């Protein structure tokens, strides 16, 4: 089947990042055209050439490719093309370094493709974009096949396929001519400074018809009158319009004769027809002016849309691609979603008014939680502490699997609230607490740090551990044991529990492990020890040794978290960052999972979590608020 091939090319500006040229050639000799067909080639290099030098260098390479392909004698076009690309690549790579070549020949309805040096070939067929060939720096690979009606073939450099994702390329070529596709991609190319080696040729296959650049005019039969040109058609149309308006108006305003008596007493007939024609002329003039106005407006709208259309298309397809990758590659999905959001917000800031942009922004808002794991929330009142006791104000939280406990340092009280039922009780008051500095809990037992040691409070006050520390410490209870972070000594002390008593403290850190604990401001334990530093650093220790931990995927990055919480029953780690008014959720290997955003979080000072009850509890002054977990 014979196909008409329409082509268009896209090239970056030569510069320090290299240069690229696109070549198309069809032999004039019938025999050569039949045996070698029509050749398309994209050649590029990272070599720095500018202006005339780049053009000359490109011509030199293309000349050699042309010579090797069209000048060779015997053999199939496919084998000769592959040999030509290999030979030219080797020749110029030895002096230039990086050389990319993508070549396609169309011979008697068959497409032969050869690429090398990193160049690639892709095909768009039946709504699907797929890569046929993807070469590496030093290899030359090839393929052949039969094109189909509506196929679009893309020959491109490696940089072309890196800059434009498959979604953007698909959007640019789908339902469009190659020239229109290039127009939609060009603004992105010309807005970047590193696209010297970016180039592509886009070929569209259509059944029958004519190749690009041809203009058809069917032959005139003998005796057939000359065809009317464009200007004649316009003139004829205006005449017909005038005749129609004249006839239409005459139906309602029959022709009358008016007689005017002048000084000589002569009656002169003034035909109404002249006035009618004048009216018709005025109407036609108005119609012409209106049509010109509409034309100017349509052109302005088209030009205005052209300035942002490629970016809007890119934003739409990066959004679609992000949705498709949400479960397969969450990090890549978040990156694409963030890019789409940035493009959409930039267009909105520029004042772009477009229904498609409005729909995209609505979709971004709707899917922000599922893709980015970002949830705009309004925390609900969980417990008003002031109702439990006059002037009760929380300074810190500690939690077990069933209960959350609040310490009021100034009021010298500890209260407990059940996660599931909100049932509340005063655990200890001023009669047991004299100088509370920190709080730790294990199951339903509460421990308070005072100046001379750690006390268990509740029904009675019992001293659990004597103070042997010189400076500020933090306490935590886990698996019936008490842990103390001694900031000044750089030690984590472990006090083993046995019933209601505790043994002597030992350094839990392994021999030779001596971290700087001076800035630690919060700790939590789930079998491993998590420490949050005032510098924003999160450290993790297991069996006394430091574990490497990389926090990834959080945007914006964590800068100054205020509190950290997890336990052995939770699947995730939770961080309160008051400055950014958010709670960040991490997997226990440091990967980002989700974040909750609310102005109320700017007032929070501490948090605790029950994944079983689906609640994040935050402390803000004399109130506890709850956030429903949506990431589980």
Average pLDDT over residues 479-485: 97
Element (H, E) at 373: none
> With 0-12 CB in 10 A as exposed, 13-18 as middle and 19+ as buried, what is 169?
buried
For residue 335, pLDDT beyond 70 = yes
Q: CA nearest 187: which of 168, 208, 166?
A: 168
Q: What is the pLDDT of residue 271?
A: 58
Q: What is the pLDDT of residue 97?
A: 78
Average pLDDT over residues 454-468: 95
Do the beta carbons of residue 538 and residue 531 sit within 8 Å? yes
> b/e map of 454-474 (b: 16 or more CB within 10 Å)?
bbbbeeeeeebbeeebeeebb
Residue 223 zone, left/alpha/beta (φ > 0; ψ -120 to 50; rest): left
Q: pLDDT for 417-446, tens place per residue?
A: 999 999 999 999 999 999 999 999 999 999
Q: What is the pLDDT of residue 48?
A: 63
Q: What is the pLDDT of residue 272?
A: 64
C-alpha to C-alpha distance for 51 and 339, rounded to whole angstroms: 34
Which residue has tokens 């509740």? 458
Q: How confident is the model at residue 274 (pLDDT cuts 50, 70, 90)?
A: low
Q: What percent of the chain has pLDDT over 70?
A: 86
Q: What is the pLDDT of residue 237?
A: 45
Q: pLDDT for 597-621, tens place per residue?
A: 999 999 999 999 999 999 999 999 9
Average pLDDT taken over every residue of the chain: 86
Do the beta carbons of residue 531 and residue 491 sit within 8 Å? no
Average pLDDT over residues 346-375: 91
Average pLDDT over residues 234-240: 44
Q: What percent of the chain has pLDDT over 90?
A: 56
Q: CA nearest 525: which of 486, 473, 570?
A: 570
- Assess whether the region 3-207 and the region 380-627 belong to the same CATH fold: no
For residue 154, pLDDT beyond 70 = yes
For residue 260, pLDDT beyond 50 = no
Q: φ and ψ at 572, to 5 degrees?
A: -130, 165
Is this prediction's pTM over 0.85? no
Lowest mean pLDDT: which of 74-78, 80-84, 156-160, 549-553? 74-78
Do the beta carbons of residue 109 and residue 2 sit within 8 Å? yes
Q: How confident is the model at residue 53 (pLDDT cuts 50, 70, 90)?
A: low
For residue 256, pLDDT beyond 80 = no
Q: What is the pLDDT of residue 259?
A: 41
Domain covering 380-627, topology:
Neuraminidase (2.120.10)
Which residue has tokens 């070469």? 135
Q: pLDDT for 108-151, tens place per residue?
A: 889 999 999 999 999 999 888 989 999 988 889 998 888 998 99
Q: Does the domain spanning 3-207 belong to CATH 3.20.20.140?
A: no
**DSSP codes, 181-250:** HHHHHHHHHHT-SS-TT-EEEEEEEEESS--TT----PPPPTTPPPPP-HHHHHHHHHHHHHHHHHHHHH
Q: What is the pLDDT of residue 74?
A: 74
332 versus 267: which is more confidently predicted? 332
Cis peptide before 115 (omega within 30 of 0): no
Q: What is the pLDDT of residue 480?
A: 94
For residue 87, pLDDT beyond 60 = yes
**Which three-class secondary structure state does DSSP give residue 363?**
helix
Lowest mean pLDDT: which of 260-269, 409-418, 568-577? 260-269
């Amino acid at each position: 089947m014979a196909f008409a091939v329409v082509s268009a090319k896209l090239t970056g500006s030569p510069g320090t990042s290299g240069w690229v040229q696109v070549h198309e050639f069809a032999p004039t000799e019938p025999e050569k055209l039949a045996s070698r067909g029509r050749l398309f080639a994209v050649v590029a290099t990272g070599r720095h050439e500018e202006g005339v030098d780049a053009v000359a260098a490109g011509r030199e390479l293309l000349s050699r490719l042309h010579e090797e392909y069209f000048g060779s004698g015997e053999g199939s076009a496919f084998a000769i093309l592959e040999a030509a690309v290999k030979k030219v690549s080797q020749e110029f790579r030895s002096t230039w370094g990086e050389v990319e070549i993508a070549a396609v020949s169309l011979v008697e309805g068959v497409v032969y493709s050869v690429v090398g040096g990193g160049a690639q070939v892709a095909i768009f067929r039946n709504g699907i974009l797929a890569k046929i060939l993807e070469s590496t720096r030093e290899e030359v690979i090839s393929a052949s096949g039969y094109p189909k009606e509506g196929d679009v073939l893309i020959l491109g450099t490696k940089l072309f396929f890196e800059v434009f994702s498959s979604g953007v390329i698909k959007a640019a070529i789908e339902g469009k001519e190659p020239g229109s596709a290039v127009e939609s991609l060009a603004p992105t190319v010309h807005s970047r400074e590193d696209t010297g080696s970016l180039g592509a040729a886009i070929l569209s296959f259509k059944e029958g018809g004519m190749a690009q650049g041809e203009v058809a005019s069917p032959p005139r039969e003998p005796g057939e009158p000359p065809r009317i040109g464009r200007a004649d058609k316009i003139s004829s149309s205006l005449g017909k319009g005038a005749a129609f308006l004249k006839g239409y108006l005459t139906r309602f305003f029959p022709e009358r004769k008016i007689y005017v008596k002048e000084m000589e007493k002569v009656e002169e007939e003034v035909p109404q027809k002249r006035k009618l024609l004048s009216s018709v002329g005025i109407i036609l003039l108005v119609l012409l002016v209106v049509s010109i106005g509409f034309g100017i407006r349509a052109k302005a709208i088209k030009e205005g849309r052209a300035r942002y259309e490629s970016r809007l298309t890119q934003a739409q397809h990066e959004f679609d691609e992000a949705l498709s990758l949400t479960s397969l590659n969450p990090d890549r999905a978040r990156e694409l979603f963030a890019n789409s959001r940035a493009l959409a917000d930039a267009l909105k800031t520029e004042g772009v008014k477009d229904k498609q942009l409005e729909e995209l922004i609505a979709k971004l808002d709707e899917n922000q939680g599922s893709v980015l794991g970002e949830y705009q929330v309004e925390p609900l009142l969980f417990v008003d502490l002031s109702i439990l006791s006059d002037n009760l104000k929380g300074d810190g939280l500690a939690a077990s699997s069933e209960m959350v406990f609040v310490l009021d340092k100034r009021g010298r009280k500890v209260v407990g609230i059940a996660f599931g039922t909100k049932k509340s009780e005063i655990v200890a008051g001023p009669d047991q607490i004299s100088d509370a500095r920190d709080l730790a809990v294990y199951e339903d037992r509460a421990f308070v740090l005072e100046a001379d040691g750690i006390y268990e409070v509740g029904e009675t006050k019992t001293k659990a551990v004597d103070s042997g520390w010189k400076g500020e410490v933090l306490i935590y209870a886990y698996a019936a044991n008490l842990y103390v972070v001694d900031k000044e000594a750089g030690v984590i002390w472990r006090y083993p529990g046995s019933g209601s008593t505790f043994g002597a403290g030992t350094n839990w850190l392994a021999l030779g492990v001596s971290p700087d604990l001076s800035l630690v401001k919060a700790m939590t334990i789930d079998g491993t020890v998590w420490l949050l530093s005032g510098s924003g650093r999160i450290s993790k220790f297991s069996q006394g040794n430091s574990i490497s931990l990389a926090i990834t995927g959080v945007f914006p990055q964590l800068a100054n978290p205020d509190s950290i919480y997890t336990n052995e029953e939770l699947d995730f780690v939770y961080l309160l960052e008051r400055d950014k008014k958010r709670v960040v959720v991490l997997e226990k290997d440091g990967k980002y999972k989700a974040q909750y955003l609310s102005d109320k979080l700017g007032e929070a000072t501490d948090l605790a979590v029950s994944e079983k009850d689906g609640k994040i509890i935050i402390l803000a002054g004399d109130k506890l608020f709850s956030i429903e977990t949506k990431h589980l």
